[in-house]
Structures are given as structure tokens and as C-alpha cells.
Amino acid sequence: MPTAPPPQFPAGFRWGVSTSAYQIEGAVAEDGRGTSIWDTFAHSPGRVADGSTGDVACDHYHRHREDVALLAGLGVTAYRFSVAWPRIQPAGTGPANPAGLDFYDRLVDDLLAAGVDPVATLYHWDLPQPLEDAGGWLARDAAERFAAYADLVAARLGDRVKLWITLNEPFVHMSLGYGTGEHAPGRTLLFDAFPVAHHQLLGHGLAVAALRARTAGPVAIANNYSPVRVLGDTDADRAAGAAYEALHNRLFTDPLLGRGYPDGTLADPSVVRDGDLATIAAPIDVLGVNYYNPTGVRAPAEGSPLPFELAPVEGYPRTAFDWPVAPDGLRELLGWLRGTYGDALPPVEITESGCAYDDRPGPDGRVHDPERIAYLDGHLRAVRAALDDGVDVRGYFVWSLLDNWEWAEGFTKRFGLVHVDYATQARTPKSSYAWLRDTIAATRGEPAR
């Protein structure tokens, strides 16, 4: 357990937790919801480690009031959830399904009544299957469809959502969903997946315009970043590091901040039409930063189809995902963003930060997770250090409120501050929940609850 008192954060610093629709909601066939690419993928044999699906997940669709009470008890000022596109437009086009909007309307109202600001992500990877059948994000039309969907959601919730996030981790969606096939929709196009980058970014830009027309609320995107650690001392190693950095950290940031695509990243530049880059570079109010770990990179072996080789970063404790626990990487990353983009960098919020461990109830029924406490303590100190370095960080969201359905890993990875027994749906706050509650209270100058 950390012994030093928690660092102080500026007044108004946003404290939050994050989730996403398919990972927690369940109720996949209720109230007119359509099928998403993740329904299709999870139901395809061999795609998910434990053979599970998100059909029920944490049953949040039916238990959201209990989950809002957990948020209120935690003392967070914000909750980041995602809206399931197939609940709003079952086929990905056409008018809104009122029952789908009603669910998020109730959730938003319940959050506000509990004193928690709603932060809505419009797309956390659950593309309506009919749009995938029409080409998915490889097709330019997906960008237009996304903006139309954003307009429908903003028309209903725009008066109450406190921060809009267009896309979650477009790099991960492109690379695992369309590049290597480990995620839905399971396509294995490698570098031919690059149109997915452009069409997601174009969808983001068009959605920003739709949101601006409907709401005064601030707008963001949540990118996944990983500071690059070059393993090796040759020019070829350094070139590999630069190539990976362009792909992972700059491909989805340079165009957003007005720099166009990094050289060499778009295999087929013909997908970029006149005016697209200006649409993509529409000003945003916040850059969402999802951070988990640094990436080790070195020169590829002779004959490799990739311009880099990835390798483990050693010297850190590791999570159950075998990811290094490297809070210094968060400070480094925030410094890199500030150093690379300078005054073009908008205020930053850490929209995801968290860790998986094999948490289970002890004989006393409690769930003790000291590793997660150490993780959070270290990462909060890294944010404090970045503030001291001059980076404008305005918030920190823990991934995740609940243990949930971790994509291709199914139920085998637990990221929650709250343990979920998937057989009974019993929620048990872990010791990290109590620690974070007390930390938030202390940093806000309130007595521990």
C-alpha cells in the first residue's frame, strides 16, 4: 500500500471511470438493438479466448441504477460510457430507434441526479453489422453514416452530456480489427487497412461538425498512445522506432492537429480527397489519452514485411495481461505530446488508465487488489509530475468501473474497481475502490468517507 499522501490536483480536475457498451451492457437483443460486428465476431468459434460473448456481460442494461450508485459512492465527478450505435440505428442508417435513445436518456438523467457528469463516447468499436457488410470503415460511406448517427444522439442528449468523445482508440480498431484480425471484424489486411484510419478520422471530423451544430458541449477523441522505447543502438533500430511512433502515436494525431498524415503512413493516399484534412483538423476541446504501457521496438529481421519488430519492455512489474506497469511512461508520453505538438495541443484528459489482475474474493468475501492500488497511485503521481512539467492535464479516468468483457480475452481479464461475479452479477467493490474514493476525497479537500 502506498504510504505517502496522494498528490494534490488543481480545482476542477475531472475524476472519472470509463466503460464501453458492448463490454458491460448485455441485453443484445432487447428494445430493437441491431447486431454489431462484435456480436458476429464473438459468436464465431475460436475468436474469443474463453468462448464467451457479450450477450449478457455485466447486465448493465438492466442494472444501471446499481452501477450509478457505485459511481456516486466512489465520488467520481464524471462517468465515461459509450453509446451502442446498433441500439440507436439497428441497421446503421435511418431514423433513431426511440427505445435505444431512451436507455441513454435515463442513464444520463440518473448520473446527473447522482452528481456525476455524463461523458459519452459515440463509437467504441461496435459498428452495426450491415455497415460492415457494406465495407465497414474501409468504405468512405462509414464516415458519413457515423456523422448522421452522432447527430441523432446529440439531438437527444446534447443538452446534458458534459463531454463528447467521438471515437475510442481508432488505432486499435484499425490495427487489430482490420490489420491483424484479432478483433472484430476480423479482417487481416495489414497495411492495406490504412483507409480505415482515414475514414475513422473523417468520421470524427464530420461528427465534430454535427455535434457543434447540436450542442455547446466540449468535444474530444480518445486516442491510445504508447511511448516508444527503442531497444538497440543502431540506426536501423532508431528508424524502426520512428516508424512505429508514426503508426501508433502520430497517425491519429498529426492530422487532427493540422499536420496532415505523417510521411509514409498512408499506403494509399488516393483515399484522401480535397477538403478531408481540413474536416479532420476541426478544433477539438480536449485530447483524450488512453495509456496502458510503453512499447519496445527494434529493427526488423531481414525479410520481415514490417518496418519494425516489437519486443517486451523489461524491468517493470507486470499485469495479468503481461503488460509492464510503467507510470514513468505516462509522464514521458504527456511530455512527448507537449513537446511534439506545442501550442497546437489542446488540454488533455487521461480517458483510460488501468490494469488487469486475477482478482477474486478472499475467505472474508472481500476482494483485495493491492497491485491495482499501487498502479493507480503511481499513475496519478505521473500525472501530477506531468502537470509540474507544464502539460495541461484536466482529468483522469480509470479503466474500468466494473470487471467486464475484455474483447478477444472474454471474461479472463479483470480491470474493474468493482469485482463482478458473472454467474450472479453480484458487484463487490475491491479495496482499490475504497482507496480511490478516499484519494479523490483527499485531493478535493474532503474528509474520507
The catalytic residues are 169, 352
Q: Which is nearer to ligand IFM, 35 or 290 (CB)?
A: 290
Residue 215 binds ligand IFM (CB under 6 A): no
Integer Cα distance of 421 and 404 in angstroms:
10
- Closest contact distance (angstroms) between CB of 127 and ligand IFM is 14
**Contact residues for 116 (Cβ-Cβ < 8 A; gap 6+):** 68, 71, 72, 76, 77, 78, 79
**Cα(242)–Cα(309) distance, integer angstroms:** 12
> Is residue 129 part of an annotated ligand binding site?
no
Q: Does 166 bind ligand IFM (CB under 6 A)?
A: no
Measured from the CB of residue 19, what is the shortest distance to ligand IFM in angstroms? 8
When the beta carbons of 109 and 422 are compared against ligand IFM, the nearer one is: 422
Binding of ligand IFM at residue 20 (CB under 6 A)?
yes
- Is 302 within any annotated ligand binding site? no
Q: What is the C-alpha separation between 231 and 149, in angstroms, rounded?
A: 43
Q: Which amino acid is at 63?
A: R
Q: Does 169 bind ligand IFM (CB under 6 A)?
A: yes
Pairing of strands 348-352, 286-291: parallel
Asked if residue 67 binds ligand IFM (CB under 6 A), the reply is no
Q: Which is nearer to ligand IFM, 411 or 415 (CB)?
A: 415
Contacting ligand IFM (CB under 6 A), which of 81, 149, 399, 411? 399
What is the radius of gyration, based on Cα positions, of the chain?
Answer: 21
| Interaction residues for ligand IFM, span 80-119 (CB under 6 A) | none
Interaction pattern, residues 233-252, with ligand IFM; x per rule: CB under 6 A:
--------------------
Residues that bind ligand IFM (rule: CB under 6 A) add up to a total of: 8
Nearer to ligand IFM, 272 or 334 (CB): 334
- Residue 86 CB, shortest distance to ligand IFM, in Å, is 17
Query: From CA 432, how far away is CA 369, in angstroms rounded?
Result: 6
One-letter identity of residue 387: L
Q: Tell me, what DSSP letter sits at residue 75?
A: T
Whole-angstrom Cα distance, residue 142 to residue 361? 44
String of contacts with ligand IFM for each residue 282-311, x by CB under 6 A: --------x---------------------
Taking the complex as a whole, how short is the minimal distance between the CB of residue 214 and ligand IFM, in angstroms?
Answer: 26
Q: Identify which of 120, 104, 100 has the alpha carbon closest to the alpha carbon of residue 36.
A: 100
Q: Which residue, 51, 60, 52, 50, is CA-closest to 25?
A: 60
Q: How far is the CB of 266 from ligand IFM (least distance, A)?
A: 24
Q: Tell me the three cell numbers of residue 47.
A: 475468436
Q: Which is nearer to ligand IFM, 110 or 406 (CB)?
A: 406
Indicate which single residue of 262, 350, 406, 419 sits in contact with ligand IFM (rule: CB under 6 A).
Answer: 406
**Out of 352, 369, 371, 377, which residue is the one contacting ligand IFM (CB under 6 A)?**
352
Q: Give the three-class secondary structure for 397.
A: strand
> For binding to ligand IFM (CB under 6 A), which residues are involved?
20, 23, 169, 290, 352, 399, 406, 415
Binding-site residues for substrate sit at: 23, 124, 168, 292, 399, 406-407
